[in-house]
Chains A and B, each alone.
Chain A
Amino acid sequence: SQTIHQWPATLVQPVGSPLSLECTVEGTSNPNLYWYRQAAGRGLQLLFYSVGIGQISSEVPQNLSASRPQDRQFILSSKKLLLSDSGFYLCAWSVRGRMTWNTEAFFGQGTRLTVV
């Protein structure tokens, strides 16, 4: 069966420090991968998605970047964190392809990031 791992679960970082959140998927190949953020009091917003190794699409301009160095690994990074980067970050995967809008997305447990 497929599983998705996301770590760490919680993180407190000072303003201006770097960030690296990692997500890995097991039990499937060539998934679409996603990073979402849930800011306090707000809904979920798609930050990045990837349809293949090295292929990253950004949905919103921001202080963050994403990379996909391996098929089932998705990394969210920042060189210098801002207070506004605080939130709950969720990694997700779905089956590969563009014509898959009727399929389920599977989410990790999330990382709660607090920038102080």
Chain B
Amino acid sequence: GNSVTQMEGPVTLSEEAFLTINCTYTATGYPSLFWYVQYPGEGLQLLLKATKADDKGSNKGFEATYRKETTSFHLEKGSVQVSDSAVYFCALSSSGGYNKLIFGAGTRLAVHP
């Protein structure tokens, strides 16, 4: 079946450090890929998405590229801020699947001044 594997956290960084959170997936067909972010005490909100191979999603300085050859969708940011501290979830939605999301386990990011 379809699945998402995400690097385990927590990830602890200093402000202005470079961030990479790895995400790989297993899916049939042509899924869409998403990164959602959960700030403390809140629900999830979409950070970025990519809907086909080689697409790059970007938002708020974060980027991720849909790599079909390596089945990956790694999240990157060149310079993190304290306000980026949150839990990040990689997810996929299968084609023709009523937009049901399959999530990775989540990666907690803590950024210190």
Contacts and interface: CB of A to CB of B under 8 A. Distances in A.
A86 interface: no
B92 to A, nearest CB: 9
Contacts of A44: 44, 89, 91, 101, 103, 106
Nearest to B46: A104
Q: How large is the interface on B (under 10, 10 to 19, 20 to 34, 35 or more residues)?
A: 20 to 34
B22 to A, nearest CB: 15
Contacts of B79: none
Q: How large is the interface on A (under 10, 10 to 19, 20 to 34, 35 or more residues)?
A: 20 to 34
Contacts of A46: 100-102
A98 B43 contact: no
A101 B68 CA distance: 17
Contact of A102 (B6, B32, B91, B98): B32
15 contacts: A38-B106, A43-B6, A43-B103, A43-B106, A44-B103, A46-B100, A46-B102, A49-B98, A90-B43, A94-B99, A98-B96, A99-B96, A100-B99, A102-B32, A104-B46
Interface of A: 6, 32, 34, 36, 38, 42-46, 49, 51, 59, 90, 92, 94-95, 97-105, 107-110
